[in-house]
Amino acid sequence: MRVFWERGYRASTFADLMRAADVQKQSLYGAFGDKRSLFLKSLELYRNLVLSEIQRLLREADSPFEGIARIMQYASQPPGATNSPSGCLMANTALELGLSDPDVAIEVKKLFRSTERTLTAAVKKGQERGEITTRFDGAAIAQSLVNTINGIRILQNTGASDRHVKTVVEMALAAIKT
């Protein structure tokens, strides 16, 4: 997963993947088949990890708004702070491959839609508690937040300063707060 995240699908070679997994070619082929199959499994793993982290952040927060703020702050951490490659594997993949591979596009959409559903539920709870604006539908706010998170990851990939990213997060949170 990390190789694809750092290099992208097209630039990742089977040799890179063998080195990262510390296995021989036949073992990697035996376990996953081809590079594309391994990539799809990597996207699924990434999706599950991200969704698990989002749910944990929401669950451990004192309020829905605080949970959303934690998610935004987590997404805006510089790569060194999270010990992960720059950007988001799914956003990077969407930019690299777009809709050219339908199975990959489905995995990307699954993460984005699942994140939207999770955030929609949090936003609606926050609206019921009076901490999040009701000027917009909960689902629309969640879609905007997911778009902002993806934008943050792209900003990080293009060398935006931490201050710039922090400002984007602050604006997004200010826009939804009552």
Domains in the chain with CATH codes:
47-176 (1.10.357.10)
Stated pTM of the model: 0.88
pLDDT of residue 22: 84
Residue type, 141: I
The CA-based dihedral angle spanning residues 92, 94, 147, 156, taken in that order and rounded to the nearest 10 degrees: 10
Calculate the alpha carbon distances from 100 to 11, 35, 104, 126 in Å: 16, 16, 8, 38
- Token reading at 73: 């702050």
37 and 100 Cβ atoms separated by less than 8 Å: no
Interval 98-149: pLDDT, tens? 899 999 999 999 999 999 999 999 999 999 999 999 999 999 999 999 999 9
